[in-house]
A and B are shown apart, each in its own frame.
Chain A
């Protein structure tokens, strides 16, 4: 309660940001099919409302940690899509100079502490970032994004317990997309409502419709405010769904086509916000189209930028490894 906004400007920004994620991911999949993306690709399509609704409450000074499905978090936090695409293409202009790929994009300038190929790998980083903020009394907040699979790993438990007992300014955000890679959630835990686990840690838990950016925005606002006031962490569960496979090329034999089309047809978060804005008279159909087109241009520019950038030279092999370069 008491969460103001979002303002019209914020709503339009969120709408554009969700399109930015969607179109970036669609383009990344297309380019991967063309053989241009080096390494694995995990897209955020369907989950856009989570990253966008939460990061709307954060500034560049606040921290987030991400997952293997990290593009949406990067874009929500304000990372540059050109350097992201270049990283996917393995080019020297990418965030990791083309040496990291999709699962290692980080942008410290906007508080994005990194995607992470290790399931549950972000917990320690976010909790540590929260501790640093508490020690420095900086008022910063750290948000830890993780999936339902990560809930069953040790770092989830250890870090939320520690964050709770030290009242750290961290928001633990479970993007419950119901599948840990190919495994349905109910096969690997008896407690499918992750938010209810908060009672085991003595912190508040909240569950929201992760396909509805306004619900996410509201719940995230309360959790972020609470963290900023020094009242400790919240476990926020966003029920969501990834419209595409675990990774690009996943045959998805573990779920039905009907289930997928039901979610993408009935619960598309971008369409949901677009319809809402048009109903409220904030946006006309033409304006919506124009936002989408402008983002599409931006993504096309990112692909051009990546295409035109060189690959890292052999001299990059030994750079960024030791503080004193190897002779």
Chain B
């Protein structure tokens, strides 16, 4: 199932013979470790809230943190992240404030998307994180377009697009990757091969021997990397980013990982897969692997772990409290952002559904 792939750390956190740790300062390494832990905790917390009926929907990324965070960390702030729907970690790397993410999840008055999107569909163009794209694979052409746009504008920004193994079967993957190859767009096509497309296992997804080999059909480079190895992911993505920035075109990266949880909170994986299949992936946990490495290097211990745990919990708690305090968006926002100047019939509707007092009440969040 795993096949040949590039790795630096063994599952036990040892440096593989002949492998070199990418040049990351210790504070960068600890920052990455914190983001992975934060990502895991946010996931746990949101899934709990969803089970309690306090959140409509959530998509977790347990077990895929290294693939997501390691790749996003290879980008500059000016580069684009074009997510699928399981890349909370990339948003965190980009500096997406927790309060903005949580406000989107709850669709409250602080939500940048004004409560109009499904939960988990955050976006922040100032941070160059485009909207989560639920239609499978539809974000790939967007990323190619952003990259082409950057090149036409004469700058060297790149776009990194995330998609799953299921998306590789979509026409959008095909047309976009071909286009990227022909026009050498500065794009990184990052496939999180987490082995499952909702309930479809990767063996039923394609007859090709892996995802990276698909690059040959487009005349571009394909790379296969251990997606649970933060250093390996960072390393291959950095090289792909540098190549794209030099104007040498796109790279298809296949990060081999595993979706440990359900597809989303609306899914029960017990109905289509065995728990026994998940077991080995708990041993291959990306956070544990990184922690074992840091510990061996003398950079980490139980006290530091506990302190980080406390800090992460408190950070999440504070942002959650703040998000809960904000009420729903005011009713008049329903009428915004469609016309530059509101036509008379919409104004009439707006006035019929909300009086000025009601606007105020709604805005106060009662």
**B-facing residues in A184-201 (Cβ within 8 Å):** 187-191, 196-197, 199-201
Interface residue SS majority, chain B: helix
CA distance A189 to B177 in the complex (A): 10
User: Is A33's beta carbon under 8 Å from chain B?
Assistant: no
Contact B218 A201 (CB under 8 A): no
User: Is B175's beta carbon under 8 Å from chain A?
Assistant: yes
CA distance A162 to B219 in the complex (A): 22
* Neighbour of A199 across the interface among B173, B181, B205, B213, CB < 8 A: B213
| Smallest Cβ-Cβ distance to A165: which chain B residue | B207
Q: Please encode chain A, from 72 to 88, with 1 for each CB lying within 8 Å of some chain B CB and 0 for all others.
A: 00000000000000000
Q: Please encode chain A, from 165 to 194, with 1 for each CB lying within 8 Å of some chain B CB and 0 for all others.
A: 101000000000000000000011111000
Min Cβ gap A193→B in Å is 10
User: Is A60's beta carbon under 8 Å from chain B?
Assistant: no
User: Is A154's beta carbon under 8 Å from chain B?
Assistant: yes
Contact A191 B204 (CB under 8 A): no
Contact A190 B181 (CB under 8 A): yes
- What residues of chain B lie closer than 8 Å to A165, measured between beta carbons? 204-207
Contact A191 B219 (CB under 8 A): yes
Which range holds the interface residue count of chain B? Answer: 20 to 34
* A164-B207, A201-B206 as given contacts; A189 in contact with B174, CB under 8 Å: no
Contact B207 A202 (CB under 8 A): yes
- What residues of chain A lie closer than 8 Å to B171, measured between beta carbons? 153-155, 157-158
- What residues of chain A lie closer than 8 Å to B213, measured between beta carbons? 199-200
User: Using a Cβ cutoff of 8 Å, how many contacts connect chains A and B?
Assistant: 76
User: Is A203's beta carbon under 8 Å from chain B?
Assistant: yes
Interface residue SS majority, chain A: helix
CA distance A188 to B218 in the complex (A): 10
Contact B208 A202 (CB under 8 A): yes
CA distance A161 to B203 in the complex (A): 12
| Smallest Cβ-Cβ distance to B173: which chain A residue | A157
User: Is B216's beta carbon under 8 Å from chain A?
Assistant: yes
Contact B206 A154 (CB under 8 A): no
Min Cβ gap A303→B in Å is 41
User: Is A248's beta carbon under 8 Å from chain B?
Assistant: no
User: Is A156's beta carbon under 8 Å from chain B?
Assistant: yes
Contact A189 B219 (CB under 8 A): yes
CA distance A162 to B200 in the complex (A): 13
User: Is A10's beta carbon under 8 Å from chain B?
Assistant: no
* Neighbour of B208 across the interface among A155, A191, A200, CB < 8 A: A200
User: Is B169's beta carbon under 8 Å from chain A?
Assistant: yes
User: Is B217's beta carbon under 8 Å from chain A?
Assistant: yes
CA distance A154 to B217 in the complex (A): 13
Contact A203 B170 (CB under 8 A): no
Min Cβ gap A124→B in Å is 11
Which range holds the interface residue count of chain A? Answer: 20 to 34
* Neighbour of B206 across the interface among A153, A189, A202, CB < 8 A: A202
- What residues of chain B lie closer than 8 Å to A164, measured between beta carbons? 206-208
- What residues of chain A lie closer than 8 Å to B204, measured between beta carbons? 165
- What residues of chain B lie closer than 8 Å to A158, measured between beta carbons? 169-171, 174
Contact A191 B172 (CB under 8 A): no
Min Cβ gap B247→A in Å is 15
* Neighbour of B209 across the interface among A155, A187, A202, CB < 8 A: A202
- What residues of chain B lie closer than 8 Å to A157, measured between beta carbons? 169-171, 173-175
| Smallest Cβ-Cβ distance to A120: which chain B residue | B171
Q: Please encode chain B, from 159 to 191, with 1 for each CB lying within 8 Å of some chain A CB and 0 for all others.
A: 000000000011111110010011000000000
User: Is B214's beta carbon under 8 Å from chain A?
Assistant: yes
Min Cβ gap A122→B in Å is 15
- What residues of chain B lie closer than 8 Å to A203, measured between beta carbons? 207
Contact A152 B205 (CB under 8 A): no
- What residues of chain B lie closer than 8 Å to A197, measured between beta carbons? 216-217
CA distance A196 to B213 in the complex (A): 12
* Neighbour of A154 across the interface among B174, B208, B219, CB < 8 A: B174
User: Is B220's beta carbon under 8 Å from chain A?
Assistant: yes
* A188-B182, A189-B182, A201-B208 as given contacts; A156 in contact with B174, CB under 8 Å: yes
Min Cβ gap A161→B in Å is 5
Pairs across A and B, CB under 8 Å, 13 listed: A152-B175, A153-B171, A153-B174, A153-B175, A162-B169, A187-B182, A190-B178, A191-B218, A199-B216, A200-B208, A200-B213, A200-B214, A232-B207
Which residues of A are in contact with B by a Cβ distance under 8 Å? 152-158, 161-162, 164-165, 167, 187-191, 196-197, 199-203, 232
Can you add 20 more A-B contacts, CB < 8 Å, to A162-B169, A202-B206, A232-B207?
Answer: A152-B174, A154-B174, A156-B174, A157-B170, A157-B171, A157-B174, A158-B171, A164-B207, A165-B207, A189-B181, A189-B218, A189-B219, A190-B182, A190-B219, A197-B216, A199-B208, A200-B216, A201-B207, A201-B208, A202-B209
